[in-house]
Amino acid sequence: MAPERVTHTPAVAAGSITLGGDLRVNRMGFGTMRLTGPGVWGPPKDRAEAVRVLQRAIELGVDFIDTADSYGPNVSEEIIAQALYPYPLGLVIATKGGFERPGPGRWTENGRPEHLRRQLQGSLRRLRRDRIDLYQLHRIDPKMPADEQFETLGEFRREGLVRHVGLSEVSIQDVERASRFVPIVSVQNRYNVSDRKWDDLIDYCEREALAFIPWFPLSAGHLDEHGPLARAARRHGATVYQIALAWLLQRSSAMLVIPGTSSTAHLEENVAAAEIRLSAEEMAELGR
């Protein structure tokens, strides 16, 4: 009899977080923006590898996948379904709406209710789901009242089309205002070890039991071979990018990281960062 295959699941080492009180996921997730063509436009160069990346992520213990209708557009959602449907029990898929894509590298906010509804219906169809686990407003459209956009998200939730709602690139004040219309369970803002603009918001998320999902998490600042990231990487036998991810995970229990890649080797490297434990001294040095 062949021995049973033992699968190492390093994502579990990141610990877990609960979204909205009922969806528990490992804090090492996966973001799918890179599973598209240049400028986040069109299909990837190697679609078969994109499928393998998603399947390998699940093997490594990842159970939270973040996407958006604007990635491609539509491409990343279609690849997720191709790779993973029928979905494994416990997998949480988050998607986003609120952008139009005029072309490669171009993004235009559109928070009109009819646009959000049309895009949500498309996401449900592409992901082959009856309800989106976490639906995020990709941006607040400044061309129309924010309250109308928040109310639309509340309608989606009341209709059972989405389970939970999140926001992206918002302030504490935006979260509190949106919460008058619909419960908010997550915030997705740009944040990394060298871009610390949202420190106060992360502390707010921790106090309010919200998940903070940093996008562009792998900026490692100045990759000076004598800098603190490089020194920590040498001590741990890791890359500076792994140290940057480990720092995020230890920065706050609210952190749910979603590093993305189109390479299985790079995916394995990213997820392995969940097993790195930085000392208090290293955290303090990197925090400075």
Which segments within 1-85 are labelled E, that is strand? 16-19, 23-26, 30-31, 64-66
Rounded to 5°, angle at Cα 72 from 244 and 136:
65
Task: Give the separation between CA 32 and CA 42, rounded to whole angstroms.
Answer: 13
Beta pairing class for 99-103 and 106-109: antiparallel
CA distance 89 to 79: 19
- Give the C-alpha separation, 206 to 254, whole Å: 5
191 included as an active-site residue: no
The CA–CA distances, whole Å, from 61 to 15, 94, 128, 280 equal 11, 17, 22, 27
Three-state secondary-structure class, residue 116? helix
Residue 41's DSSP bridge partners are 72
Distance of CA 143 to the CA centre of its chain: 26
Degrees (nearest 5) of the Cα angle 47, 50, 55?
130
Percent of the chain as helix, strand, coil, to the nearest 5: 40, 20, 40
Could you say which of 71, 135, 191, 204 is catalytic? 71
Structure tokens at 261: 């890649």
Q: Is the peptide bond before 73 cis (omega within 30 degrees of 0)?
A: yes
The whole-angstrom separation of Cα 125 and Cα 119 is: 10
Which three-class secondary structure state does DSSP give residue 215? strand
Known catalytic residues are: 71
